[in-house]
């Protein structure tokens, strides 16, 4: 018998006669209706700031200027579809990366990349030490369930909540290990 | 890492006795567990629907386990359709053989690893080393453990038993090229690890990971982490091999909405961990292999009481609140799974034929703190008690328990035993002999009263 | 109301004063108290140490002895939790034993539950002019979910100054046979608990379980701290006249 067949047979033997259970979804009852929540931008900004990431809330028209100000003289990767000219090509020597995102989560201060247009490859948002992410206000959802519902599992997804960190030394949080040590977020309203 | 947990001598009482007397270890553990306890309580308290999430988490896992065959087949189909290759391993040896073969086929002799409990459980690093392949742990705590030729002592933070100055010493001794001016400031230590691993990440062609979750419906694997070492390993190498226990399944994509709330808050005490990677099959040109691991899990599944241990999502909240773990430390459990969850998982996965494994179900005061914080409501005390009934018992203890049972079976016998104790009350020594000396080493014995309650009642009330 | 006192084997043998206190307290509150003489032990030690067969026999004995009472009151959170929480897991579903357990178990109360939930009283008219700290034992806290019932009762005791115990919810390290099977860890937990107790400056440590007090009290006494241990029932039974 192959390992596959044997494991499946063992599983079937092990659970024979066991009762199945209903999954209570009571947690969904309290979820806010899409679009019905006030203050998502403020909550998202506050929660991102809790991770010691830098947050700017800027009217849409002023975003390009804000990006310029944030990037300063950095050599920055600009992924295809971001809509900005120029950009550095060499991953190993880049100082940073600027991207959009797929979804952002207010309750947890999380941005999610699905690496579609404007978001670059997974490596492009990982290797450089600085990540600037532009989030549109309409991309911000209340919580994790709303984000999961919006995402496409067929795409590679990267959930980012603040800069790289570790709690491995005495369980105290230290920012900056292998991922970008600085995360900056522009919320476009 | 040459250290291995399998076949470790000793037993829990003996191992923990040594740990209790190590004041540095006691200090490190107390500080760390109390820090994380507070953080967890605060972020769990933020969610008004925590108990509903917990109930859903428990039920999703129960339902998955009940239908595990169906969901495994579905997962296999989804991963295969997305360009991945699925392998099945009955036990540790088979899993190690598969992984070693896959690495050898690439021609590489070095691999980078994301922290993974499953690969520790099967002692993959040793198996790779025997075939001339060096595995580099990239999680900071795992690196500390590996460089120190040490054992992990916690599921989430394997180097919890080390404080900053001990970590500095290990880095100075064992980390090639480290600056002799390295301080014990945690950011400086993290920076040293960053520099040490940077080149390795950029040049490694093969990575090995585990996974926190696998979604049957879509074939998606999910890894939660903090440092970015996981993203490095999952993203940069050409070949990715993930070794995952068969119980890590979730039926549907939407089920992640429950577990991505339960796990980070229970584990690191954060609203969300810094990085979560999700991928489905072979992504961005990578070669992807999934090794599904049984290694005793189907035996656990067959146990009506014990199978709830398979719901575990390895958050380690139970370790952080456990008063026994806090004082004994992780090494005393002699397993990659320490603490309360280890005390019920290890004896089920390995059996109770060794003295150490047979002592684990007793490594608890049954205080219930673990059950209270468990995000998937594993009734750990219930499983401990069930395992105690199956554990081998010493002959003297068995005889003593039989006598006690015989006395308790009839109130007249109990009354006679109480009167005998009363007659001998003046003769009870301050230090008791035999196994009871364990009591009187640190505690006084109570005075035996002149009369039991039942005799008092009989004398005063029965009339 | 026909109330049976389930004294528990530890109280019966080592702490008869606790039993006498329960009897006088319940009578003061107008209850008719009976002590079924055939009672022995709930079987917790056997079950929790891995001797299920003996434990099941004792559980069967318990359900026979206490059948037919309106309420069974135990001055022990641990033994009450054994009957209410663990007994239902001992019997085969649908069996005669399961039916007997379902009949008796819900009517078993720990003392503070009985006073507050059944007798609906928080002030039992007690007087105890001392500085007291309260340790919520694990099985009363996490097994029975007694919450603040015991401290609500203590707050209504005249003259009593209740001081909070730091780290109160942490186990004292008793754990039944755990105390002798893992003596080093048990003693370390006990030492930390006694340190917290000393930090409160209390004269008396109170709890709803004499088994835990046996361990903490034995440690306090060995360290010659001068702090006394008293069961909740004994404080609640104290009156001005008696003092």
ipTM: 0.97
What tokens were used for B165?
Answer: 């100055």
- pLDDT tens per residue, range B74-94: 999 999 999 999 999 999 999
Q: What is residue C239's predicted lDDT score, i.e. its pLDDT? A: 94
Binary contact (A148, B59; C-beta < 8 A): no
Q: For the structural domain made of A40-188, what CATH number should be given?
A: 3.40.50.10420
**In a mutagenesis test of the A interface, which of B228, B286, B292 is the best target, namely the one with the most A β-carbons within 10 Å?**
B228
Positions in chain C short of pLDDT 50: none
Q: Are residues C66 and C135 located together in one domain of the fold?
A: no
Whether B343 and B334 have beta carbons less than 8 Å apart is answered as no
Distances (CA, A) of B261 to A47, A119, A144, B429: 15, 25, 7, 56
Reference C175, options B33, B357, B398, B438; nearest CA is B438
Q: Are residues C35 and C71 located together in one domain of the fold?
A: yes
* C171 found inside a domain: yes
* C73 found inside a domain: yes
Positions in chain A short of pLDDT 50: none
Q: Are residues C17 and C83 located together in one domain of the fold?
A: yes
- Provide, as residue numbers in chain C, all residues whose Cβ is less than 8 Å from the Cβ of B397: 49
Reference A104, options A27, A188, A174; nearest CA is A188
Which domains are present in chain B?
A: 12-298 (3.40.50.10420), 395-460 (no CATH)
Whether B159 and A168 have beta carbons less than 8 Å apart is answered as yes
Q: Are residues C110 and C149 located together in one domain of the fold?
A: no
Reference A46, options B176, C243, B271; nearest CA is B271
Rounded distance, CA B142 to CA C191, Å? 33
Cβ burial, residue C4 (10 Å; 0-12/13-18/19+): buried
Reference B115, options B149, B79, B92, B144; nearest CA is B144
Rounded distance, CA B296 to CA B21, Å? 35
Q: Are residues C138 and C87 located together in one domain of the fold?
A: no
Reference C48, options C177, C170, C173; nearest CA is C177
Q: What is residue B441's predicted lDDT score, i.e. its pLDDT? A: 92
In 3-state terms, what secondary structure has residue C85?
helix
Among chain C residues, the shortest Cα distance to B362 is held by C178
Distances (CA, A) of B155 to B59, B160, B292, B320, B337: 24, 9, 20, 10, 7
Q: Are residues C50 and C144 located together in one domain of the fold?
A: no
**In a mutagenesis test of the B interface, which of C3, C8, C11, C13 is the best target, namely the one with the most B β-carbons within 10 Å?**
C13
What tokens were used for A126?
Answer: 């990982």
Q: Are residues C91 and C146 located together in one domain of the fold?
A: no
Over 60: is that where the pLDDT of B9 sits? yes
In 3-state terms, what secondary structure has residue C96?
helix
B453-460 helix and B411-423 helix, angle to the nearest 10 degrees: 100
Report, as an integer, the average pLDDT of B22-47.
94
- pLDDT tens per residue, range B385-442: 999 999 999 999 999 999 999 999 999 999 999 999 999 988 888 888 888 898 999 9
CA distance C218 to chain B (A): 4
Confidence at B7, pLDDT banded by 50, 70, 90? low
Which residues on adjacent β-strands are paired with residue A2? none
Whether B30 and B326 have beta carbons less than 8 Å apart is answered as yes
Rounded distance, CA B371 to CA B308, Å? 12
Q: Are residues C85 and C138 located together in one domain of the fold?
A: no
Among chain C residues, the shortest Cα distance to B462 is held by C35
Rounded distance, CA B4 to CA B335, Å? 9
Q: Are residues C232 and C144 located together in one domain of the fold?
A: yes
Q: What is residue B213's predicted lDDT score, i.e. its pLDDT? A: 98
CA distance A189 to chain B (A): 24
Q: Are residues C163 and C108 located together in one domain of the fold?
A: no
- Provide, as residue numbers in chain B, all residues whose Cβ is less than 8 Å from the Cβ of A30: 48-49, 52
Whether A109 and B272 have beta carbons less than 8 Å apart is answered as yes
* Boundary (domain end) residue, out of C53, C88, C118: C118
Domain count, chain C: 2
* C242 found inside a domain: no
- pLDDT tens per residue, range B277-298: 999 999 999 999 999 999 999 9
Which residue in C37, C176, C190 is closest to B411 by CB distance? C37
Over 50: is that where the pLDDT of B1 sits? no
Q: Are residues C35 and C89 located together in one domain of the fold?
A: yes
Q: Are residues C50 and C90 located together in one domain of the fold?
A: yes
Confidence at B6, pLDDT banded by 50, 70, 90? low
What CATH code is carried by the domain that includes residue C192?
A: 3.40.50
Binary contact (B453, C11; C-beta < 8 A): yes
Place of tokens 């022995």: C40
Q: Which sign, positive or negative, has the C-alpha torsion B237, B240, B243, B246?
A: positive
* C126 found inside a domain: no
Binary contact (B20, C15; C-beta < 8 A): no
Domain spans in chain A, listed from the N-terminal domain onward: 40-188
Binary contact (C19, B388; C-beta < 8 A): no
* C243 found inside a domain: no
Domain of residue C24 covers 2-118
Q: How many CA atoms lie within 13 A of B249 on its CB side?
A: 30
Q: What is residue B2's predicted lDDT score, i.e. its pLDDT? A: 40
pLDDT above 90 coverage of chain B, percent: 92
Any chain B CB within 8 A of the CB of A21? Answer: yes
What tokens were used for A7?
Answer: 């494991």
End-to-end CA separation in angstroms for chain B: 75
Binary contact (A144, B227; C-beta < 8 A): no
Report long-range pairs for C93-96 (Cβ below 8 Å, ≥24 apart).
none
* C140 found inside a domain: yes
Whether B115 and B140 have beta carbons less than 8 Å apart is answered as no
- pLDDT tens per residue, range C39-62: 999 999 999 999 999 999 999 999
Helix (H) / strand (E) containing C109: strand C108-110
Among chain B residues, the shortest Cα distance to A175 is held by B187
């Amino acid at each position: 018998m192959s390992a596959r067949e044997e494991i499946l047979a063992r599983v079937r033997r092990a659970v024979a006669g066991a009762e199945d259970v209903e999954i209570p979804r009571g947690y969904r009852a309290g979820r806010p209706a899409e679009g019905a929540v006030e203050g998502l931008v403020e909550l998202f900004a506050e929660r991102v700031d809790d991770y010691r990431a830098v947050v700017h809330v800027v009217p849409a028209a002023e975003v390009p200027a804000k990006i310029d100000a944030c990037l300063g003289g950095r050599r920055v990767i600009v992924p295809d579809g971001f809509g900005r000219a120029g950009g550095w090509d060499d991953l190993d020597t880049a100082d940073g990366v600027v991207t959009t995102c797929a979804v952002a989560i207010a309750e947890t201060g999380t941005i999610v990349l699905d690496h579609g247009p404007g978001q670059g490859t997974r490596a492009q948002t990982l290797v450089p030490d600085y990540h600037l992410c532009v989030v549109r206000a309409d991309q911000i959802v209340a919580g994790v369930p709303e984000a999961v519902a919006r995402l496409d599992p067929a795409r590679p997804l990267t959930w980012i909540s603040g800069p790289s960190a570790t709690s491995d030394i005495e369980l105290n949080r230290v920012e900056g290990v292998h991922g970008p040590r600085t995360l900056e977020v522009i919320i476009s309203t | 890492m040459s250290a291995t947990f399998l076949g470790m001598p000793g037993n829990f009482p003996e191992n923990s006795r040594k740990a209790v007397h190590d004041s540095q270890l006691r200090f490190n553990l107390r500080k760390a567990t109390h820090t994380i306890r507070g953080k967890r309580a605060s972020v769990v308290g933020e969610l008004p629907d925590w108990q509903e999430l917990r109930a859903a988490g428990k039920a999703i896992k129960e339902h998955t386990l009940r239908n595990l065959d169906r969901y495994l087949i579905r997962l296999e189909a989804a991963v295969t359709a997305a360009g991945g290759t699925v392998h099945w391993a009955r036990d540790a040896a088979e899993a190690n053989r598969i992984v070693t073969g896959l690495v050898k086929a690439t021609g590489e002799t070095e691999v980078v690893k994301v922290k993974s409990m499953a690969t520790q459980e099967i002692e993959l690093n040793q198996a790779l080393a025997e075939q001339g392949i060096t595995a580099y742990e990239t999680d900071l705590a795992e690196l500390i453990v590996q460089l120190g030729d040490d054992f992990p002592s916690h599921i989430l933070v394997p180097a919890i038993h080390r404080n900053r100055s001990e970590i500095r010493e290990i880095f100075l001794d064992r980390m090639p090229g480290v600056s002799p001016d390295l301080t014990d400031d945690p950011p400086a230590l993290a920076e040293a690890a960053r520099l040490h691993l940077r080149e390795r990440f950029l040049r490694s062609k093969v990575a090995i990971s585990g996974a926190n979750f696998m979604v049957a419906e879509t074939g998606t694997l999910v890894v939660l982490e903090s440092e970015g070492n996981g993203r490095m390993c999952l993203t940069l190498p050409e070949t990715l091999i993930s070794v995952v226990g068969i119980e890590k399944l979730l039926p549907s994509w939407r089920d992640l909405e429950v577990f991505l709330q339960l796990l980070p808050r229970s584990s690191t005490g954060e609203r969300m961990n810094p990085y979560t990677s999700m991928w489905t099959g072979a992504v961005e040109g990578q070669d992807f292999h999934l090794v599904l691991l049984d290694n005793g899990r189907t035996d656990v599944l067959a146990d009506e009481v014990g199978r709830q241990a398979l719901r575990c999502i390895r958050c380690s909240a139970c370790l952080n609140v456990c008063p026994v773990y806090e004082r004994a430390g992780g090494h005393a459990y002699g397993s990659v799974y320490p603490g309360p969850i280890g005390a019920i998982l290890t004896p089920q996965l390995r059996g109770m034929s060794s003295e150490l494994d047979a002592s684990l179900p007793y490594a608890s005061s049954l205080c219930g703190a673990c059950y209270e914080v468990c995000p998937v409501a594993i009734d750990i005390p219930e499983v401990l008690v069930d395992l105690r009934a199956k554990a081998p018992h010493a002959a003297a203890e068995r005889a003593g328990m039989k006598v006690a049972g015989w006395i308790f079976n009839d109130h007249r016998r109990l009354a006679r035993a109480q009167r005998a104790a009363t007659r001998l009350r003046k003769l009870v020594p301050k230090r008791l002999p035999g196994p009871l000396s364990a009591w009187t080493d640190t505690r006084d014995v109570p005075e035996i009263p002149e009369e039991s309650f039942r005799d008092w009642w009989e004398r005063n009330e029965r009339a | 109301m026909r109330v049976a006192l389930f004294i528990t084997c530890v109280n019966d043998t080592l702490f008869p004063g606790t039993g006498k206190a329960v009897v006088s307290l319940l009578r003061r509150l107008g209850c008719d108290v009976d002590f079924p003489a055939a009672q022995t032990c709930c079987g917790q030690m056997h079950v929790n140490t891995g001797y299920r067969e003996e434990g099941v026999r004792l559980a069967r004995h318990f359900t026979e002895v206490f059948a037919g009472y309106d309420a069974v009151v135990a001055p022990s959170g641990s033994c009450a939790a054994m009957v209410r929480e663990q007994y239902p897991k001992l019997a085969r579903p649908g069996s005669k034993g399961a039916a007997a357990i379902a009949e008796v178990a819900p009517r078993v109360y720990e003392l503070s539950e009985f006073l507050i939930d059944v007798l609906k009283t928080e002030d039992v008219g007690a007087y105890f002019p001392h500085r007291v700290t309260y340790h919520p034992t694990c099985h009363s806290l996490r097994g029975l979910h007694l919450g603040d019932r015991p401290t609500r009762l203590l707050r209504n005791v005249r003259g009593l100054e209740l001081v909070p115990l730091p780290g109160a919810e942490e186990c004292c390290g008793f754990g039944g046979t755990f105390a002798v099977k893992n003596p080093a860890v048990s003693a370390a937990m006990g030492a930390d608990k006694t340190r917290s107790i000393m930090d409160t400056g209390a004269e008396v440590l109170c709890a709803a379980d004499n088994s835990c007090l046996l361990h903490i009290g034995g440690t306090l006494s060995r360290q010659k701290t001068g702090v006394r241990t008293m069961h909740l029932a004994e404080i609640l039974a104290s009156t001005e006249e008696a003092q």
